[in-house]
Amino acid sequence: MGAQTGGGGVSAAAGVALGMVGGAIRISTPFLFVSLGECITEKSGRVNLGLEGTLVMGAMAAYGVSYLTSSPWLGVLAAGGCGVVLGALHGWLCARPRVNDVAVGIALMLFGVGLAFFLGKPLIGPTAPHLPSVSLGWWSASGQVRSALQVNALFVLGLVTTAAVRFVLRKTRWGLVIRTVGESADAARAMGYDIARVRLLATMAGGFLAGVGGSFLSLFYPGSWNEGLSSGQGLMAVALVIFARWDPVRCLLASLLFGGASALGPALQSVGVTSGYYLFNAAPYVLTLAIIVLTSSRDRALLGQPAELRMAR
Amino acid sequence: MLKARAFATSVAGWTEWIGTRVAAWAIFVAVLGGLTPGPRSHRAVAASPPLTIGFIYVGPKSDYGYNQAHAQGAAVIAKLPGVKIREEEMVPETSAVQKTMESMINLDGATVLFPTSFGYFDPHILKEAAKYKNVTFLHCGGLYTEGKHPTNVGSYFGYIDEAQYVAGIVAGMSTKSNKLGFIAAKAIPQVLRNINSYTLGARSVNPKATTTVIFTGDWSMPVKEAEAANSLIDQGIDVLTMHVDSPKVIVETAERRGIMVTGYHANQAALAPKGYLTGAEWNWGKVYTDYVGMIQAGKPYPHLLRGGLKEGFVKVSPYGKMVSAAAKKKADAAKAKFMDGKMVVYKGPLKDNTGKVVIAAGVEQKQTDIALEKMDYLVEGVVGKTH
Amino acid sequence: MGIGVSIGAISPLAEPSAGGAGALVATAEARRAARRKSAEAFAIPSVAILGALILFGIFVALTGRNPLAVYHEMYRGSFGTWFSFQNTLQRAAPLMLTALATALPLRLGLVVLGGEGAMVLGGLAAAAVGVHLHTPMSVKLGMFVVGALVGGAWMAGAGTLRAYRGVNETISTLLLNYIAIALLNHMVEGPLRDPASLNKPSTLPIGDDNMLGNLPGLDVHWGLVFGLAACLLTWFLMQRTTFGFAARMVGGNVRAALLNGLPVRRLIVVATFLGGLGAGLAGAVEVAAIHGTANASLVTGYGYTGVLVAFIARGNPLGVVPVALLLGGIGASGGLLQRVFDLPDATVNVLQGIIFLSILFSDSLYGGRWARKPAVAA
């Protein structure tokens, strides 16, 4: 066995580590976009559980538009546009009396995924132009390092977005309005803000980012449209927001951690460690659960949690 | 306490409110159900009814893989005279497939069914075959046991590992790093046989070649498959192949990363014009045409039908541009031996990758050998474990 | 008290209209209000479904199919023939059980997505136990009890984390689903694998004689009766017992529940446990009636469809039954849409999504402008 793993223990371990770094960057991007989007929405005091539908819809739209126009960036925009429309539907429905936002989210998840599969049937076959990638590993002679640091343009955009969301939420008047609405609707109302409108816009913005996250799936990694594309990543990303405690930078870290853990199973197998692969493949879920349990507290609410939020108590 | 009373009453009011809504719903559905008439007779049978054949797929029929291979076969027989086909895709291996079969029989008038997923056989096909004795069930998997299974069931399969062996030869001749990669769904005999045949083919022409295998655990999970492909490529693998339901993502990933790939299930050359060496393909159109011919003629059909390259059940994709003349020659030679029926892939002495002898010297296991159906090892030269 | 803020004070369900309290005062005014509400309770969901059907009809028409023909086939495929109606019943049965896993905690204000995991593990445990028992009766009994208990315990784990550590139950149950499926696959292909199950790794079969059969005279297995009985029992529990009253109180207002000295934490654990029983039982029934063994086919998505059923029924156990029938019927007709109209399989998901959205929209129509009473405080 040892003889067949080739380079022996040290380089195998290094290979696994490199694989995880590369995997973290590859896998984390859709999580990052969706969780940033949900972060904005939840900061305004509303939960959109339907971003799984938005993600899949975005993936389909991006692939279709990229295929038809040969411009992947137009595809990204189309994906964002789909997200805005679904977000607006969510915001509009939730603004009506007695309509529950969690239920609307579940409905939109079903609707978005169903519509994407419906419209996407003819797109399973064709191949669409891809998004470009940026080589951050030019300094290294090692092919492994270079390929691990072959970073997608959307990931870079995701880093910029993280900083931007953080800045907007913390330092700008818009951010203040969103946070006020999320912390106390009464106070916001007293200050003369239109709560429904703020939440509508926050949900639309969140939808835009989630749609863009979907375009990454179909236009870069794995880079193809089919019905197994998401496997619940949108839903997981919404969960990661609670894990990240409504902080954009922590959303980034959580996404990277989740991506790295997801890459563990394949990376280990690629150097010959294949036993118990189901359990390795479950690593990101176990790890996330363990961290949540360890960081939760019996008696107080999570830090950074918008008080108006229904689901994230 | 007062507060609690008020609260209690409001809760009571609320449940009453909910209750009336639910009652209304129940009435609504009951009305729908009440409209239900009793058993209805079959639709009137026309003078010379076409043979209605139902095809059931577990995934999308345009998946560039397992289901597409079957759908292509269905498309071939759809053109035959006197044949009408009905197709349903994305049918899970649960009671849903039983109901789909019954629905095709009861509502479409199908008399021949091709439930194409391996997992449909036990218990679903067996149960329906016992229930509908005048319907013929033809299943892909080669699982029929005489005397044990209903007589209106047939099961067919192809020795696709023969095509994998040939593809392995091409891979072994083409690799520069001597490292091949195999992305597989599950460690089951069918899959292990493909991995082993591929590796034996490669090592028959290039003894230094090894095959690293990654099990994704799922028949169709594109993100995991892409991650597996990238992990393997990062480890220096330069020829990839796979046994998953839809190879599209893996083939595309290999092409993008500039390595070579051999395909599976269907021809994926269009997805990787630069790196597609060859591939192991099904040829169900021939198998289905044969079956339909026998059924239309009222002749008995074989309950267990299997074949390889020789019988035309499987085929090897046309070689890609980058396949060297030497590689073509060796691959063609092996193919010719399969066509003659002289080739035996599994013969002793054969060791597995832990050094244990799995086939003793002098023993030959031909394709029909039952031992091959129970394969639970990976041959020497494969990096990986079966569990 | 402690639990204070960490448990949300807001029920995820629609707030009752203020008329609910008023109806207690037996005046003519209140009676009229009650009558109006009954009329609304019938009219609004009907209008919502009708509206959804019109929207979906337009959608279908846009794809170039005749909506009336499509509806005719859908009716034929779901309720229109005796065969179709049984098909619908069979599909509805597991949904009733998995829906309870979400519906019951929903009454306490908890959003649980874990029916899938509880069902999968319930099925696995049932199969593992079933092969060690011998008479057909004991096999079945053992499977149902163990399957349900395992499902309940799995879900109660999430409930415990919620109650005693404040871990959000939505995220924990979602994660637990993935973990449960990994466990199933690991066990089925590893320690619990029947060596004879070659290309379809499975546990040892429980044996044909021990399988759960069909209802007499029907082509529907006993799971339907289990589903109906479980929904009725749960309804009784929630509406007619102290436990149910306390649980609903927690769902209405946690602070009030705490002020009244209710054991909120324990109620949460018990409710998630009871809900998990349903999903676990669904898994056991799936093994006992369909597969006869546990394997990857147990991952059916019934758990997630159950979430949908529970939410459309707004957590009401009796509402679960008609909603499960409706979704079962849509599922049963999906095949015909593919075969007759060449519509994609996802068509039924689109229809379900439109119906669900339409029903949610209709929530805002109750106590509408046309019948607004003057003195209703918000």
Tokens of B373: 């159906």
> Least CB-CB distance to A22: which of B210, B230, B270?
B230
Which residues is B352 bridged to in the sheet? Answer: B379
Q: Which residues have CB under 8 Å from B348's CB, separation 6+?
A: B357, B359, B360, B361, B362, B363, B364
Degrees to nearest 5, angle at CA B184 with B181 and B187: 120
Confidence of residue B94 (pLDDT cuts 50, 70, 90): very high
Q: Tell me the domain boundaries of chain B.
A: 51-158, 160-280+313-383
Expressed as residue numbers, the domain containing A186 is: 30-242
User: Measured between beta carbons, which residues in chain C are less than 8 angstroms from residue B17?
Assistant: 16-17, 20, 37, 41
A290 is a domain residue: no
Q: Is the peptide bond before A126 cis (omega within 30 degrees of 0)?
A: no
Q: Please state, in angstroms and as integers, the Cα–Cα distance from residue C5 to each residue in A274, B76, C2, C292, following that order.
A: 46, 65, 8, 47
- A1 to each of A8, A29, B183, B297, B380, how far by Cα in Å? 10, 35, 19, 56, 10
Q: Is the pLDDT of residue B11 over 60?
A: no
Mean pLDDT of A205-230: 94
pLDDT band at A302 (very low <50, low <70, confident <90, very high): low
Q: Which residues of chain C have pLDDT under 70?
A: 1-26, 368-378
Q: Residue A43's pLDDT is what?
A: 95
Find the largest Cα–Cα distance for chain C.
73
pLDDT given for residue B177 in this prediction: 96
Q: Output the pLDDT for position A304.
A: 67
The torsion of the CA quartet C204, C206, C212, C214, rounded to 10 degrees, works out to 70
Helix/strand/coil percent split, chain C, to 5: 75, 0, 25
Residue B17 — very low, low, confident or very high, per pLDDT cuts 50/70/90? very low
Residue in B closest to A13 by C-alpha: B235
d(CA C94, nearest CA chain B) in Å? 11
Bridge partners of B139, per DSSP, are: B155
Residue A6: pLDDT over 70: no
Residue A274 has pLDDT above 80, yes or no: no
CB A223 within 8 Å of CB B226: yes
Q: Is residue B314 within a helix (H) or strand (E), and if so which, with residue range? A: strand B314-316
Which of A88-92, A184-188, A295-299, C3-7 has the highest average model confidence (pLDDT)? Answer: A88-92
CATH classification for the domain delimited by B160-280+313-383, as one of 3.30.390.10, 3.40.50.300, 2.40.30.10, 3.40.50.2300: 3.40.50.2300
Burial class from Cβ neighbours inside 10 Å (0-12, 13-18, 19+) for residue C130 reads buried
Chain C: closest CA distance from residue A133 (Å): 31
Contacts of residue C13 in chain A, CB cutoff 8 Å?
100
In this prediction, residue A8 carries a pLDDT of 45
The CA distance from C37 to C64, in Å, is 40
Smallest Cα distance from B142 to chain C, Å: 11
Of B70, B60, B109, which Cα lies nearest the Cα of B86? B109
Spatial CB neighbours of C120, under 8 Å, sequence gap ≥ 6: C177, C180, C181, C184, C283, C298, C299, C303
Q: Do domains B51-158 and B160-280+313-383 have the same CATH topology?
A: yes
Residue in chain C closest to A118 (alpha carbons) equals C346
Query: Chains that contact B by 3+ CB pairs under 8 Å?
Result: A, C
How many Cα atoms sit within 13 Å of C3 on the Cβ side?
24
Across all residues in chain A, what is the average pLDDT? Answer: 88
Spatial separation of the C-alpha atoms in residues C44 and C39, rounded to whole Å: 8
**Distance in Å, alpha carbon of C172 to nearest chain A alpha carbon:** 6
Interchain proximity B64–A125, CB inside 8 Å: yes
* B25, B89, B219, best to mutate vs chain C, most C CBs in 10 Å: B25
User: What is the number of domains present in chain A?
Assistant: 1
In CATH terms, B51-158 corresponds, of 3.40.50.2300, 3.40.50.1980, 3.40.50.1220, 3.40.190.10, to: 3.40.50.2300
Burial class (CB in 10 A: 0-12, 13-18, 19+), A68: middle
- What value does the mean pLDDT take over residues B261-288? 96
Please indicate whether, in this complex, the C-beta atoms of C248 and B15 are within 8 angstroms of each other. yes
> Which of C341, C349, C352, C361 best tests the A interface by mutation, with the highest count of A CBs <10 A?
C349
Is residue A253 in some structural domain?
no
CB within 8 Å: C318 and B217: no
Q: Per the structure block, which two tokens stand in for A191?
A: 């200050």
pLDDT of residue B2: 40
Q: Which C positions 249-268 lie with beta carbon below 8 A of chain A?
A: none
Distance CA A89, CA A110 (A): 14
Chain B interface, mutation test: which of A66, A145, A146, A274, most B Cβ atoms within 10 Å?
A274
Which residue from A102, A243, A282 is facing C182, i.e. has the nearest CB? Answer: A282
**Band of pLDDT at residue A275, cut at 50, 70 and 90:** confident
Point out which residues pair with B265 in neighbouring strands. B281
Q: Which of C40, C46, C87, C209 to mutate to test the interface with B (most CBs of B within 10 A)?
A: C87
Q: How far apart are CA A52 and CA A57, in angstroms?
A: 8
| pLDDT for residue B41 | 38
Instruction: At B82, list the tokens.
Output: 């006197």
Cα–Cα distance between B171 and C229 in angstroms, integer? Answer: 60
Chain B, window 50-79: residues with a beta carbon less than 8 angstroms from a chain C beta carbon: 54
A204 is a domain residue: yes
Q: CB contacts < 8 Å between A and C, how many?
A: 169
CA distances from A157 to A154, B1, C321 (A): 5, 58, 48
Report whether the peptide linkage leading into residue B123 is cis, meaning its omega lies within 30 degrees of zero: yes
d(CA B142, CA B138) in angstroms, rounded, equals 10
ipTM for the predicted complex comes to: 0.89
A90: nearest CA partner in chain C:
C357
DSSP C221: B
- Backbone phi, then psi, for A81, in 5-degree steps? -60, -45
Q: Which chain A residues have a beta carbon less than 8 Å from that of B233?
A: 147
A226 in contact with B at a CB cutoff of 8 Å? yes
Cis, bond preceding C67 (omega within 30 deg of 0): no
Residues 139-178 of chain B with CB under 8 A from chain C are 141
**Bigger pLDDT: C367 vs B138:** B138
Residue C31: per-residue pLDDT: 80
Q: Which domains does chain C have, with CATH numbers?
A: 37-64+343-368 (no CATH), 66-342 (1.10.3470)
Tell if the CB–CB gap between A93 and C361 is shorter than 8 Å.
Answer: yes
Contact map slice: A 160-189 vs B, CB within 8 A: none
Nearest to C346, CA basis, from C324, C359, C330: C330
CA pair distance C288, A266, nearest whole angstrom = 35
Give contacts of A263 with chain B, Cβ < 8 Å. 227, 231
Instruction: Using CB atoms, pick whichever of A118, A279, A297 lies closest to residue C346.
Output: A118
pLDDT, tens digit (0-9, with 9 covering 90-100), for A109-139: 999 999 999 999 999 888 899 998 887 777 7
Tokens at C19, concatenated: 């008329």
* H helix intervals, C196-295: 223-240, 242-252, 254-259, 264-285
Phi–psi pair at B164, nearest 5 degrees: -65, -35
How buried is residue C229: exposed, middle or buried, by Cβ count under 10 Å (0-12/13-18/19+)? exposed
A86 inside domain: yes
pLDDT in tens, B173-200: 999 999 999 999 999 999 999 999 999 9
pLDDT tens by residue, B216-251: 999 999 999 999 999 899 888 999 999 999 999 999
Q: Which chain B residues have a beta carbon less than 8 Å from that of A121?
A: 60, 62
Residue in B42, B33, B37 with CA at minimum distance from that of residue B106: B42
Distance from CA of C210 to the nearest CA of A (A): 30
C82 and B373 in contact by Cβ < 8 A? no
What confidence category does residue B290 fall into, taking pLDDT thresholds of 50, 70 and 90?
very high
- B34, burial (CB in 10 Å: exposed 0-12, middle 13-18, buried 19+): exposed
| CA–CA gap between residue A312 and residue B246 (Å, rounded) | 38
Q: Are A99 and C360 in contact (CB under 8 A)?
A: yes
Q: Which residues pair with B136 in a beta bridge?
A: B112
A222 near B CB under 8 A: yes
For B41, what's the count of Cα atoms within 13 Å in the CB-facing half-sphere? 3
Subunit contact A266:B217, Cβ cutoff 8 A: no
- A117: in domain: yes
Q: Which residues contact A68 (CB under 8 A, 6 or more apart)?
A: none
Distance CA A285, CA A236 (A): 9
| Whole-number CA gyration radius for chain C | 22
Whether the per-residue pLDDT at B283 is higher than 70: the answer is: yes
Chain C residues within 8 A of B189 when measuring between CB atoms:
198-199
Query: What is the identity of the amino acid at C177?
Result: N
Using CB atoms, which chains have 3+ pairs under 8 A with C?
A, B
**Closest chain B C-alpha to C200 CA, distance in angstroms:** 7
Tell me how far apart the alpha carbons of residues C68 and A195 are, in angstroms, rounded to a whole number.
42
Decide if C299 contacts B220 (C-beta within 8 A).
no
Contact B383 A227 (CB under 8 A): no
**How does pLDDT run across B60-74, given as a tens digit for each residue?**
988 889 999 999 999
Task: Residue A217: list chain B partners with CB under 8 A.
Answer: 223
Give the E-state strand segments of B170-259 in sequence order.
179-184, 210-215, 239-243
Tens of pLDDT, residue by residue over A30-74, are: 999 999 999 999 999 999 999 999 999 999 999 999 999 999 999
Q: Does A69 touch chain B (CB under 8 A)?
A: no
Q: What is the dihedral of CA A238, A243, A247, A248, to 10 degrees?
A: -50
For residue B40, CA distances in Å to B107, B317, C250 come to: 10, 49, 50
What residues of B are in contact with residue A6 (Cβ under 8 Å)?
179, 235
| Range list of H helices, A220-247 | 233-243
Chains with 3+ CB–CB pairs under 8 A to A are: B, C
Q: How far is A64 from chain C (nearest CA, A)?
A: 17
- Chain C residues in contact with A232 by the CB 8 A cut-off are 174, 178
Question: For A222, which of B222, B231, B234 is closest by C-beta distance?
Answer: B222
| Cα radius of gyration rounded to whole Å, chain A | 20
Residue A311 falls inside a structural domain:
no
